[in-house]
Amino acid sequence: MSNLSDVGNLMYLDLDIIESGDVTNTSEYLINATAKELSNTDGRNWIPLIVKEIAEDEYQIIGNYFVYAVAEAAGLEKVWCIIADNSEATEKVTKMLAGEAIPKINLSTASRDEIKSALEYLVEQPNTNLKGVKIPVATNRIDEAPRQYWQDLSPITNLKCGITKGKKLQALEKVFYLTPQSIPDDLKNSQVLNSLTVTELKKIAKKRKLTNYGKLNKKKLVDLLSEN
Please check whether residue 124 lies inside any domain of the structure.
yes
pTM: 0.80
Query: Which CATH number characterizes residue 46's domain?
Result: 3.90.1530.10
d(CA 50, CA 125): 27
What tens digit of pLDDT does each residue of 151-196 get? 899 999 999 999 999 999 999 999 999 999 988 878 888 888 887 8
CB 59 within 8 A of CB 18: yes
Instruction: Give CA 6 to chain center in angstroms.
Output: 30
CB 51 within 8 A of CB 61: yes
Co-location of 24 and 91 in the same domain: yes
What's the structural domain count of the chain? 3
**Segments of the chain with pLDDT less than 50:** 1
Co-location of 172 and 150 in the same domain: yes
User: Residue 58's pLDDT is what?
Assistant: 94
CB 223 within 8 A of CB 193: no
Please check whether residue 3 lies inside any domain of the structure.
no
What tens digit of pLDDT does each residue of 63-74 get? 999 999 999 999
Co-location of 29 and 79 in the same domain: yes
Co-location of 205 and 172 in the same domain: no
Domain span including residue 159: 105-177
Please check whether residue 39 lies inside any domain of the structure.
yes
What's 148's DSSP letter? G
CB 99 within 8 A of CB 80: no
User: Residue 53's pLDDT is what?
Assistant: 94
User: What are the start-end ranges of the E strands in the chain?
Assistant: 10-14, 18-19, 49-55, 58-63, 78-84, 105-106, 176-177
User: Residue 3's pLDDT is what?
Assistant: 61
b/e 104-136 (16+ beta carbons within 10 angstroms → b): eeebeebeeebbbebbeebbeeeeebbeebebe
Last residue of a domain, one of 71, 97, 123: 97
Co-location of 93 and 117 in the same domain: no
Please check whether residue 70 lies inside any domain of the structure.
yes
Co-location of 45 and 67 in the same domain: yes
CB atoms within 10 A of CB 36: 12
Last residue of a domain, one of 97, 116, 135: 97
DSSP 60-125: EEEE-HHHHHHHHHTT-SEEEEEEE-S-HHHHHHHHHHTTSS---EETTT--HHHHHHHHHHHHHS
Please check whether residue 32 lies inside any domain of the structure.
yes
Last residue of a domain, one of 66, 97, 128: 97
User: Residue 226's pLDDT is what?
Assistant: 85
Paired strand residues for 79: 13
CB atoms within 10 A of CB 181: 13
User: Residue 2's pLDDT is what?
Assistant: 53
Percentage helix, strand, coil for the chain under 3-state DSSP, each rounded to 5:
40, 15, 45
